[in-house]
Amino acid sequence: MTGLLTTESSYSGRVTPWGPEVHHRLAPDALCSSSARANNRIAYASIRKIRVHKIRYLGSRATYWRCVLQSMDGERTCLQAAHYVGFRRVEDRSASYIPFIKQLEARIAAANPTVVFEQGSHWLAVGDAVLGWLAIAALGAARRVNVNVAAVASAFLTCKIGPLLKGHRIARANLIAAYPEKSSLEIERILRGMWDNLGRVLAEYAHLDRLWDFDPGRTGYGRIVLDPKSRRRFAALVDAGGPILVFGAHLANWELLSWAIGKYRGKSAIIYRAPKIASVDHALKRLRMRSGTTLIPADAGAIFAIINALRRGAAIGVLVDEHFPRGVNVTFFGRSCKATPIFARYARRFNCPIYGGRLVRLPDGKFRLDLTDAIPAPRDAEGKIDVAATTQMIINVIEGWIREYPEQWLWLQRRWR
């Protein structure tokens, strides 16, 4: 990291995109700060309050610690782990920030035993709490309404509100890039279908445990239907032994894939990205856990949980259609982008079969579950699964799915960067 000072007695950072980088140093009796604009010195004994909290920036899941010092005369000094290196680019300097702050707090407490420590909250945290309450209230209200009625109402709202959002412009740009041959009218039709599908998905979250009503002994019964081939594949997959991998994409109501995987006779797990708002995450966890699958959040500890599950012979479900910055290069709709190689790496390590699964939204609130046969993964010269080629093979399958029902895919993500 350019300019980063890693000693425990000093720390440098820029807390705003327009301000100067400030170098902070712990002198024996004071915090000394210097920048291109000014120098400052605050005696430890003069600090009456230390307020710490985590901050987050709009559009980002990352959180960073911030510390605000308030002196006897009301002067405030802000230090944080997030360092601005550009107007919209933030660098995490926690490695030097946290040891520095711990030393600073200890020196202040020694110099002024009456100093007050406060646990604060960021404005985004307050906003998240409000949004979380509203989301949970909406889930509760939607669960009290017939799922079809709730889905129609939600789709109506998203079709009205969605085109006003930034994501609509991203989706349109993605569609134009993916389908240069389509007219503007066709693009707009797909966009409207996307918002309609997303609105229905949002309403269906409250009814996930009720939507999955597949009965293998009753053909044509319920909301979940399978054609004869997928029905045979589903039965074989449920009874299969040993570890297996099932990939999916954000098509139709992708959450229902968890219920399909949950029928696996062995242990099953899905990897999911937790919502930014903790209360919403907890509410969705309670719903998702009814599928019978173990939930593995996509964080630093996910790799160990996945490996342990596969060693126990579990079925692992992963949605693999999102941008992955550290991924391998693949071709998607004729354009280069990054895709996660993790799925193929697990297949290589455990030499386990790979299946694809998707839901297709049908009229009258029904869904068709399509399952592939075990897909033969490409092998390298040593006979092991080729990670890059296998990742491309999976992306090819997903592209084929999207081309069949483009209005049912989530075009909102910036897939090509």
Report pLDDT for 57: 73
Which of 186-190, 281-285, 309-313, 371-375 shows the lowest mean pLDDT across its residues? 281-285
The secondary structure of residue 379, as a DSSP letter, is: B
pLDDT level of residue 199 (50, 70, 90 thresholds): very high
> What is the average per-residue pLDDT within 167-192?
95
Q: What pLDDT sits at residue 3?
A: 35
Question: What are 230-268's pLDDT values in tens digits?
Answer: 888 888 888 777 899 999 999 999 999 998 888 777 788
Q: What is the pLDDT of residues 202-215, one digit of tens each?
A: 999 888 888 888 87
Mean pLDDT computed over 1-28: 75
Distance CA 326, CA 266 (A): 32
Q: How far is CA 179 from the centre of its chain?
A: 26
Tell me, what's the pLDDT at 251?
A: 96
For residue 8, pLDDT beyond 60: no
How far from chain centre, in Å, is Cα 14?
27
Report residue 72: phi and psi, to 5°: -60, -35
pTM of the model as a whole: 0.73
How many percent of the chain have pLDDT more than 70? Answer: 91
Predicted confidence (pLDDT) per residue in 86-109, tens digit: 777 888 999 899 999 999 999 999
Q: In angstroms, rounded to a whole number, what is the distance separating the alpha carbons of residues 14 and 129?
A: 28
- Is the pLDDT assigned to residue 338 strictly greater than 50? yes
pLDDT digits over 104-155, tens only? 999 999 999 999 998 766 555 556 666 667 777 777 788 888 999 999 999 9
Model pLDDT, residue 396? 96
Label residue 219 by pLDDT band (50, 70, 90): low
User: What is the tens place of the pLDDT at every residue in 358-408?
Assistant: 999 998 889 999 999 999 999 999 989 999 999 999 999 999 999 999 999
Specify the fold of 10-120: PH-domain like (2.30.29)
Q: Give the whole-angstrom CA distance, residue 138 versus residue 229.
A: 38
Q: Is residue 311 exposed (0-12), middle (13-18) or buried (19+ Cβ within 10 Å)?
A: exposed
Structure tokens at 12: 């440098």
Tokens of 280: 């919403």
Say if residue 409's pLDDT is above 50: yes
What are the residue ranges spanned by the domains of the chain?
Answer: 10-120, 125-202, 213-408
- The residue among 107, 135, 93, 102 whose CA lies nearest residue 43 is 107
pLDDT of residue 4: 36
